[in-house]
Amino acid sequence: MKGWMGKFRAIALLGLMSLVLSACGKENLTALDPKGYGADQSLYLIILSTVIMLFVLAIVMIVYTIVLIRYRKKKGQEDYIPKQVEGNKTLETVWTIIPIILLLIIAVPTITATFDLADESAASDSLNVEVTGNQYWWHFNYEGQEIQTSQDLYVPVGEKVYLNMMSSDVIHSFWVPSISGKMDVNPENENTMYIQAQEEGVYWGKCAEFCGPSHSLMDFKVIAVSQEEFDQWVEDMQNVNPEAEPESTVAQEGKSLFQENNCMSCHAIGSSPAQIGPNLTNFGDRSTLAGVEDLSKENLVDWIMDPESLKPGNKMTGNYPEVSEDEAGKIAEYLMQLEPSEITPESAGTE
Amino acid sequence: MSTVASQKRGFGEVLWDYLTTVDHKKIAHLYLFGGGFFFLLGGLEAMAIRIQLIQPENDFVSAGFYNELLTMHGTTMIFLAAMPLIFALMNAVIPLQIGARDVAFPFLNSLGLWLFILGGILLNCSWFLGGAPDAGWTSYTPLSVTSPGHGVDFYVLGLQITGAGTLIAGINFLVTIINMRAPGMTYMRMPLFTWTTFVTSTLILFAFPALTIGLFLLMFDRMFGSAFFDVGLGGNSIIWQHLFWIFGHPEVYILILPAFGIFSDIIAANSKKRLFGYTAMVFATILIAFLGFMVWAHHMFTVGLGPVANSIFAIATMAIAVPTGIKIFNWLATMWGGRITINSAMLWALGFIPTFTMGGMTGVMVASVVADYQYHDTYFVVAHFHYVIVGGTIFGIFAGLHYWWPKMFGRVLHEGMGKLTFWTFLIGFHLTFFIQHFLGLMGMPRRYWVFLEGQGLDTGNLISTIGAFFMAFGVIVMLVNVVYTAVKGEKAVDDPWDGRTLEWTIASPPPHYNFKQAPLVRGLDPLWIEKTEGKGNVTPAEPLDDIHMPNSSFLPFLMSVGLFIAGFGFIYQVDYGWAYILLFGGMAMTLACMLIRSLKDDHGYHIPKVELEREAD
Ligand code: HEM
Ligand SMILES: [Cu+2]
């Protein structure tokens, strides 16, 4: 008896603890605090199915507890032989029918939502972004806008944005929990989903399909800004002159080093669709370096000198000549000043 | 006679005996030791995973090594631990439960065992030969095709060989249960563990060929330059997922159904009651198995199959909850009005009910497509399937081991230690995995080598790791228990639990021919019937006569070694010409053994009636 109570207490405690924890799941990452249409739909179904299933669990646990209290062998029962019951048609029918009804209650809204989220009828009137998953970074091409970015995806708040997604290598999965559920990014066919952020903010996205050593470092951000800010951002991005000379001499040296060291064979600045490596047009405006590190000059120097130590298995390692710390510092200076727009993650409010 | 002799045999003799045995009871021991060894290995890998995730951005292991640990943990636990341990119980119990002297094909039984063991060893050789597989236990293409080194090659060949063993074992049990039942043991009188083994074997028969084919395609892509999965050359990488899950989903039921059978037997015996709704239980089992084949695409909700396919598979998946629910309530009803004895075996069964109910709950939640867009590939799913696989299969194996240990080894496991194992494992289990539901929803995808600081995932992961240590402690206690029992344990009587089925009518452990005379079965729970209305033991269905027994054979072991060698040949022929020697040499060895087996008549031997009579006194 004591043992059982102990177990229940342990489980109850755990449950409580988890609830407290769930409340402090990181805002802008958790699926439990939706800020987008898809995530809203998902959370609704999560709650509905949880409630119904908890009801079933409660019934099981009630019967279970009664059984364990009433029918445990007691002293003096050694010779007692219980009645050998064969079954009970009525009871068995009851516990067949009721679950079917409960499941239907979950099934109907599930299917409605499935079709709702797969609806592509508004795609042609909306902003379309071509998303490419790469080991281990994301590329975004704003269709018909001549804008290419990597890692940070800017979207106008409240608008449906259609993502046409494909992978350039292995399968990845695009997931921004607080805005929408995930969708796989396959190498053979384009998958389309839409996202619709309901509040301005910077939302954390993750790759959810196992894609190699740095799978856990394939993060990105969705930055939802007001429509006016978004329009401004588009204009700024379209006006970038990739040839422009940086102001400081250090940065100018950095620029030529960037070209000499073959960086341009993979990276692009401006609206070039080349994408062996991330497009760096608005590198200085980014919220993170390589998706996971703080965007600082120090970190950038480390990255240029040895990307492997930050992202194992990445495809930059070994594909350019060795650079000294001094050179890396100059390149970093150049890249950090690539800040074409006033509209940055800070504009979206939260970090 | 034989027992006296066995006590004096040297190590070499025992080893030879086990290498050549075709006796299902000894094969059960070997499955137990083999599966147990791999269970410990998989557990060690799990502990390494959890230690790595004890704090954010930890560097206990490197990214590449983490992926190897993760892949090998999943692969090992599913193919080399859970399934063989279940086969151990099936081998130990099924012939006894149906009143048979052995399985239908004793030679094949031994072949299946050695294929499993050598396939498992081949897979694990990868650790020492340049790196283990690292594409996840599901080995999704193109990642698995492009994974450098030979890790995935070891996965392909190791699993191909073990898989063949599993298929052979499955067919053997099918035939055994169809053909070898004692007189009077109709289908609707078979104990539930026999029933679930029967249905499971059917699942193996249909599911494993899909894996075989998938592995062949992957092997050809990696080793012989084909392009089944290469999109650039007109292949299709999603096909692998279909093939894998057409095997993989039934595989989950292959793991869980036998556990259902074990619990049914244990709950009935320890409640002193007939299983409530026996017929419903049987049909629920069959229905679950059937639906198990219809729902594979629920692993692929986010692949982009479209809303129609997703909806159909969602409904089919939810439907499985109905027969499963029937089972849960029938177990409860079996205990209702009974007289429940709580021993270690029963504890596992009692721990199973709430744990598995929670796993089933989250199963329905995951089936709800749009909700799954959030759960999929996160720690929520890791939690869900551990609730089902550990809370169902592993609890079932522990329950079955405590219950049948006396029958398998003639000694009863120590109850105190049994209970300690249960409590630490149960608490550790919930501590480890309950919290992971929330971690998943809070944004932690699965197969993450590190999680970043400041994302609110720290506490949950810490708790989870602490729980894993509790589980490890429970397993260690179990090991101590096994050693203690072997050295000092009490001798078991024939029927230590006041059982209801045929295995309890004969000695513990049984003589090598099992039943001197085939028993006559007069209904469900034959031993119980005789206890309550008869003379305490089952009536024989035949007069005492000579018993026909199969001869031991070294061939199954040699055949498996041949394939093991050929496995290395296949893997290394890509780099070295001499590997063809291994490839063809190994294949030749296996084929030669097959030829010998086909050409040499082996009629077995007879235990004469007089000897049986002598043994009786
Ligand atoms: C000591 C007990 C166990 C612990 C602590 C444990 C822990 C874990 C963890 C943390 C993961 C996920 C890793 C990640 O996503 O990065 C995992 C994956 C997995 N576990 Fe376990 N596990 C345990 C027992 C088992 C058992 C008994 C089985 C099956 C019989 C099992 C089957 C699996 C499978 C199939 C995977 C997925 C591997 C993959 O994604 O490729 N685990 N385990
Ligand atoms: Cu990825």
ipTM: 0.92
Looking at residue A16, its pLDDT comes to: 54
Chain A residues with CB-CB distance to B330 below 8 A: 87, 92
Looking at residue A25, its pLDDT comes to: 74
Report residue B240's pLDDT band, with 50, 70 and 90 as the boundaries: very high
Looking at residue A19, its pLDDT comes to: 55
- Rounded to the nearest integer, the mean pLDDT of chain B is 94
Is the confidence at residue A240, as pLDDT, over 80? Answer: yes
pLDDT per residue over B332-384, tens digit each? 999 999 999 999 999 999 999 999 999 999 999 999 999 999 999 999 999 99
Distance B437 CA to ligand 2 centre (A): 22
Instruction: Note whether A312 contacts B64, CB cutoff 8 Å.
Output: yes
Q: Kindly state the average pLDDT of the residues B466-488.
A: 96
Report residue A2's pLDDT band, with 50, 70 and 90 as the boundaries: very low
d(CA B385, CA B543): 51
Grouping H, G, I as helix, E, B as strand and the rest as coil, residue B442 is coil
pTM: 0.93
Q: In terms of DSSP bridges, do strands A147-150 and A191-195 run parallel, antiparallel, or are they unpaired?
A: unpaired
Smallest CA–CA separation between B527 and chain A, in Å? 14
Domain boundary assignment for chain B = 2-498
Q: What is the DSSP letter of B607?
A: E
Q: Kindly state the average pLDDT of the residues B132-139.
A: 95
pLDDT per residue over A303-341, tens digit each? 999 999 999 999 999 889 989 999 999 999 999 999 999
- Residue ranges of B 361-380 with Cβ closer than 8 A to chain A: 361-362, 364-365, 368-374, 376-378
Ligand 1: which atom is nearest the Cα of residue B379?
15
Smallest Cβ–Cβ distance between A57 and the set B358, B370, B532 belongs to B358
Query: Using a 6 Å cutoff on CB, does residue B412 contact ligand 1?
Result: no
Q: First vs last Cα of chain A: how many Å apart? A: 51
Is the confidence at residue B517, as pLDDT, over 70? Answer: yes
Domains observed in chain A: 249-336 (2.60.40.420)
Report residue B4's pLDDT band, with 50, 70 and 90 as the boundaries: very low
Is the confidence at residue A115, as pLDDT, over 50? Answer: yes
What type of residue sits at position B34?
G
Q: Residue B476: enclosing H or E segment and its boundaries?
A: helix B458-488
Nearest CA in chain B to A179: B374
Report residue B6's pLDDT band, with 50, 70 and 90 as the boundaries: very low
Query: Using a 6 Å cutoff on CB, does residue B394 contact ligand 1?
Result: yes
pLDDT per residue over B42-56, tens digit each? 999 999 999 999 999
Residues 6+ away with beta carbon under 8 Å from B455: A26, A29, A204, B56, B442, B443
Chain A residues with CB-CB distance to B62 below 8 A: 312
Smallest CA–CA separation between B74 and chain A, in Å? 14
Query: Using a 6 Å cutoff on CB, does residue B144 contact ligand 1?
Result: no
Peptide bond into B543 cis (omega under 30): no
Chain A residues with CB-CB distance to B307 below 8 A: 111, 114-115, 117-118
Looking at residue B267, its pLDDT comes to: 97
What percent of chain B shows pLDDT beyond 70?
A: 98
Looking at residue B616, its pLDDT comes to: 60
Q: In terms of DSSP bridges, do strands A127-134 and A220-225 run parallel, antiparallel, or are they unpaired?
A: unpaired
Question: Which ligand has the shortest distance to the CA of A175?
Answer: 2
Residues 6+ away with beta carbon under 8 Å from B610: none
Instruction: Note whether B365 contacts A24, CB cutoff 8 Å.
Output: no
Q: How many CA atoms lie within 13 A of B595 on its CB side?
A: 6
The residue nearest atom 6 of ligand 1, judged by CA position, is B46
Smallest Cβ–Cβ distance between B455 and the set A26, A42, A63 belongs to A26
**Mutate which of B263, B373, B421, B470 to test chain A, going by most A C-beta atoms within 10 A?**
B373
Looking at residue B573, its pLDDT comes to: 94
CATH number corresponding to B2-498: 1.20.210.10
pLDDT per residue over B540-582, tens digit each? 988 999 999 999 999 999 999 999 999 999 999 999 999 999 9
Report residue A273's pLDDT band, with 50, 70 and 90 as the boundaries: confident
CB-count burial class (<10 Å; 0-12, 13-18, 19+) for A61? middle
Chain A residues with CB-CB distance to B463 below 8 A: 17
CB-count burial class (<10 Å; 0-12, 13-18, 19+) for A214? buried
Looking at residue B41, its pLDDT comes to: 97
Smallest Cβ–Cβ distance between A204 and the set B67, B278, B443 belongs to B443
Nearest CA in chain A to B134: A212
Looking at residue B235, its pLDDT comes to: 92
Looking at residue B613, its pLDDT comes to: 85
What type of residue sits at position B169?
A
Looking at residue B257, its pLDDT comes to: 97
Ligand 1: which atom is nearest the Cα of residue B429?
2
Q: Kindly state the average pLDDT of the residues A4-11.
A: 54
Looking at residue A10, its pLDDT comes to: 57
Report residue B7's pLDDT band, with 50, 70 and 90 as the boundaries: low
Is the confidence at residue B1, as pLDDT, over 50? Answer: no
Instruction: Note whether B337 contacts A85, CB cutoff 8 Å.
Output: yes
Distance B73 CA to ligand 2 centre (A): 21
| Contact with chain A for residue B341, Cβ under 8 A | yes
Distance B46 CA to ligand 1 centre (A): 6
Smallest CA–CA separation between B247 and chain A, in Å? 20
Query: Using a 6 Å cutoff on CB, does residue B26 contact ligand 1?
Result: no
- Residue ranges of B 220-259 with Cβ closer than 8 A to chain A: 231, 236-238
Looking at residue A347, its pLDDT comes to: 85
Question: Which ligand has the shortest distance to the CA of A212?
Answer: 2
Q: Kindly state the average pLDDT of the residues B231-254.
A: 94
Instruction: Note whether A21 contacts B361, CB cutoff 8 Å.
Output: no
The residue nearest atom 4 of ligand 1, judged by CA position, is B46
Query: Using a 6 Å cutoff on CB, does residue B52 contact ligand 1?
Result: no
Ligand 1: which atom is nearest the Cα of residue B393?
30
The sheet with strand A191-195 has its strands ordered as: A147-150, A137-142, A127-134, A161-167, A191-195
Looking at residue A13, its pLDDT comes to: 56
Q: Kindly state the average pLDDT of the residues A21-41.
A: 84
Ligand 1: which atom is nearest the Cα of residue B136?
41
Question: Which ligand has the shortest distance to the CA of B386?
Answer: 1
CA dihedral (B330, B335, B338, B344) in degrees, to 10, reads: 140
